[in-house]
């Protein structure tokens, strides 16, 4: 099984976790091609040692970083390495006729032989819908809709570049990095999702779709759709963690992320990953700041709506004053959480001197992944703010009609 992925030094633990999950669930020899520009021989030996118990070979394919200048879009979500898959036809050995490309923020939870041996027919790639099936034109930005306007008119479905079964034998006859570069230049280096936009732009008419719910399930989308850890573990082969990562502090976590941590625990990086996560999470105020800002917006808009309604009542009754609302009885749910000494950003943590650090850290992680009290409160606030915005818009229309 030929597997491709791109990484830098920072991503070694996460890519190793992905490869570990792949090996755990696929009892066949794996040839892993690592597209990179900065891995040393020492780095490669670290990866090989971490995977020594599995039937896997690591092949480093070097990409010349000097071929990229500052014109190429990149940010915290899209690193320079995202472009490296565009070099595959130049770098892969001639013996490779198909390749399954996997992003490093993925875990493979089941045997994926059925996907790997899928028949291409005349297609260049087998792909999965982006955003867990929520890939409507309205969910993307203006540049995206400009790039794919004609394609959408012909039934186009934007696909994700994190899981790609690639017909290397066919594609290497027609594509190279230079071909992709021409498309990038055509759009003046202004793509919203750099490599993904270009792959969609050039190949959308020649792809075949696999079931994204099985082979490229976006974890947070699944969580928002009320899928549980148990359901995903039982039914999904490939789980993808785009955006906020399971190992990153300062955001809402959820039970499906346990799958990532279970495979990370099988790597030599686990204790360091866990330690870093707990320390960063204990120091982070991102979640607390976010929820308190939501509360501030909610009460501000609620007060504004009350004053607007009072104005309407005053106009209708020639100056009679509406009843003012007493908000003193309203209790901040967030403060009830944050002021509880047993909680940190809504999550339980205890320093038990008799317990070892890993046990305490794992208990902390378990709380993070399973307690949704604060996230549920934040979701409720956002829904109420949306309702207030709608009510304010209607109230302002009434006032405008009265004044007109």
- Could you tell me what percent of the chain has a pLDDT over 70? 88
Q: What is the rounded average pLDDT of the residues 191-217? A: 92
Interaxial angle between packed helices 177-186 and 194-203, expressed in degrees from 0 to 180 and rounded to the nearest 10 = 100
pLDDT at position 347 over 60: no
- If we measure between CA atoms, which residue out of 238, 224, 11, 300 comes closest to residue 114? 238
Q: What is the rounded average pLDDT of the residues 315-334? A: 52
pLDDT at position 74 over 70: no
Q: What is the rounded average pLDDT of the residues 228-254? A: 95
241 and 355 co-located in one domain = no
Highest-confidence range of 129-138, 175-184, 213-222, by mean pLDDT?
A: 213-222
Tell me the DSSP string of 261-312: HHHHTTSTTHHHHHHHHHHHHHH--HHHHHHHHHHHHHHHHHHHHHHHHHHH
Q: What is the rounded average pLDDT of the residues 355-366? A: 81
Highest-confidence range of 40-49, 299-308, 364-373, by mean pLDDT?
A: 40-49
pLDDT band at 327 (very low <50, low <70, confident <90, very high): very low
Of 240, 267, 294, which residue sits at a domain end?
267
pLDDT at position 384 over 50: yes
Q: 37-41, 75-79, 336-340: which range is least confident on average?
A: 336-340
Give the count of domains, the chain. Answer: 2
Whole-model pTM: value is 0.86
pLDDT at position 78 over 70: no
Burial 196-214, CB ≥16 within 10 A → b, else e: bbbbbbbbbeebbebebbb
Q: Are 207 and 159 in contact (CB under 8 A)?
A: yes
Is the residue at 280 inside a domain? no
Which is more confidently placed, 230 or 143? 230
pLDDT band at 352 (very low <50, low <70, confident <90, very high): low
Helix, strand, or coil here: 35? strand
319 and 253 co-located in one domain = no
pLDDT at position 309 over 90: no
79 and 106 co-located in one domain = yes
Is the residue at 273 inside a domain? no
What is the rounded CA–CA span in Å between residue 4 and residue 92? 9
315 and 344 co-located in one domain = yes
- If we measure between CA atoms, which residue out of 78, 170, 187, 83 comes closest to residue 126? 170
What is the rounded CA–CA span in Å between residue 21 and residue 13? 12
Is the residue at 16 inside a domain? yes
pLDDT reported for residue 25: 98
pLDDT band at 383 (very low <50, low <70, confident <90, very high): very high
Interaxial angle between packed helices 286-316 and 373-403, expressed in degrees from 0 to 180 and rounded to the nearest 10 = 30
> In this structure, how many other beta carbons lie within 10 angstroms of the beta carbon of residue 76?
5
145 and 11 co-located in one domain = yes
pLDDT at position 68 over 90: no
What is the rounded CA–CA span in Å between residue 285 and residue 35? 36
Alpha-carbon torsion (166, 169, 175, 177), positive or negative: positive
Highest-confidence range of 221-235, 363-377, 382-396, by mean pLDDT?
A: 221-235
pLDDT at position 330 over 80: no
130 and 249 co-located in one domain = yes
CATH of the domain at 154: 3.90.550.10
Of 267, 297, 321, which residue sits at a domain end?
267
294 and 222 co-located in one domain = no
296 and 208 co-located in one domain = no
Q: What is the rounded average pLDDT of the residues 367-379? A: 86
pLDDT reported for residue 331: 44
What is the rounded CA–CA span in Å between residue 240 and residue 125? 19
Q: What is the rounded average pLDDT of the residues 322-333? A: 46
> In this structure, how many other beta carbons lie within 10 angstroms of the beta carbon of residue 351?
7
Q: Are 346 and 252 in contact (CB under 8 A)?
A: no
Q: What is the largest CA-CA distance in the chain?
A: 86
What is the rounded CA–CA span in Å between residue 104 and residue 341? 37
248 and 291 co-located in one domain = no
Token pair recorded at residue 56? 């896997």
pLDDT at position 338 over 60: no
Q: Is residue 35 packed enough to be buried (19+ CB in 10 Å), middle (13-18) or exposed (0-12)?
A: buried
Is the residue at 275 inside a domain? no
12 and 103 co-located in one domain = yes
Q: 40-49, 213-222, 266-275, 321-330: which range is least confident on average?
A: 321-330
pLDDT band at 71 (very low <50, low <70, confident <90, very high): confident
> In this structure, how many other beta carbons lie within 10 angstroms of the beta carbon of residue 67?
12
Of 217, 233, 267, which residue sits at a domain end?
267
Is the residue at 83 inside a domain? yes
Q: What is the rounded average pLDDT of the residues 9-14? A: 97
pLDDT at position 345 over 60: no
293 and 256 co-located in one domain = no
Is the residue at 377 inside a domain? yes
- If we measure between CA atoms, which residue out of 360, 358, 105 comes closest to residue 247? 105
Angle CA 102–108–110, to nearest 5: 135
Pairing of strands 30-36, 2-6: parallel
What is the rounded CA–CA span in Å between residue 38 and residue 42? 11
What is the rounded CA–CA span in Å between residue 288 and residue 282? 11
pLDDT at position 341 over 60: no
262 and 117 co-located in one domain = yes
> To the nearest whole number, what is the mean pLDDT of the chain?
87
The domain in which residue 6 lies consists of 2-267
């Amino acid at each position: 099984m030929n597997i491709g992925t791109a990484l830098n030094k920072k991503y070694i633990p996460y890519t190793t976790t992905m490869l570990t999950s792949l090996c755990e669930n696929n009892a066949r020899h794996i040839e892993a091609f690592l597209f990179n520009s900065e891995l040393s021989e020492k780095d490669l030996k670290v990866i090989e040692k971490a995977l020594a118990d599995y039937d896997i070979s690591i092949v480093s394919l070097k990409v010349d970083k000097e071929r990229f200048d500052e014109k190429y879009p990149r940010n915290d979500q899209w690193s320079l390495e995202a472009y490296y898959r565009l070099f595959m036809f130049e770098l892969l050995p001639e013996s490779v006729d198909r390749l399954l490309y996997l992003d490093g923020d993925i875990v493979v939870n089941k045997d994926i032989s059925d996907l790997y041996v899928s028949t291409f027919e005349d297609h260049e790639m087998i792909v999965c819908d982006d955003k867990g099936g929520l890939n409507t034109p309205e969910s993307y930005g203006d540049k995206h809709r400009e790039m794919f306007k004609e394609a959408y008119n012909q039934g186009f479905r934007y696909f994700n570049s994190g899981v790609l079964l690639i017909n290397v034998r066919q594609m290497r006859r027609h594509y190279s990095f230079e071909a992709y570069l021409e498309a990038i230049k055509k759009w003046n280096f202004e793509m919203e999702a750099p490599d993904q936009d270009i792959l969609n732009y050039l190949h959308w008419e020649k792809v075949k779709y696999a079931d994204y719910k099985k082979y490229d399930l976006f974890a947070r989308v699944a969580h928002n759709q009320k899928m549980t850890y148990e359901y995903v573990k039982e039914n999904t082969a490939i789980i993808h963690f785009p955006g906020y990562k399971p190992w990153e502090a300062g955001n809402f976590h959820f039970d499906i992320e346990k799958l990532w941590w279970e495979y990370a625990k099988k790597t030599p990086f686990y204790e360091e990953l866990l330690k870093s996560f707990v320390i960063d999470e204990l120091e982070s105020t991102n979640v607390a700041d976010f929820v308190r800002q939501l509360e501030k917006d909610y009460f501000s808009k609620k007060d504004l709506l009350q004053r607007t309604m009072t104005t309407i009542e005053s106009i209708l009754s020639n100056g009679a004053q509406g009843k003012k609302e007493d908000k003193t009885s309203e209790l901040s749910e967030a403060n009830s959480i944050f002021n509880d000494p047993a909680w940190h950003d809504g999550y339980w943590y205890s320093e038990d001197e008799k317990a070892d650090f890993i046990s305490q850290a794992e208990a902390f992680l378990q709380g993070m992944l399973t307690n949704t009290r604060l996230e549920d409160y934040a979701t409720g606030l956002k829904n109420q703010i949306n309702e207030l915005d709608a009510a304010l818009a209607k109230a302002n229309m009434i006032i405008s009609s009265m004044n007109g």
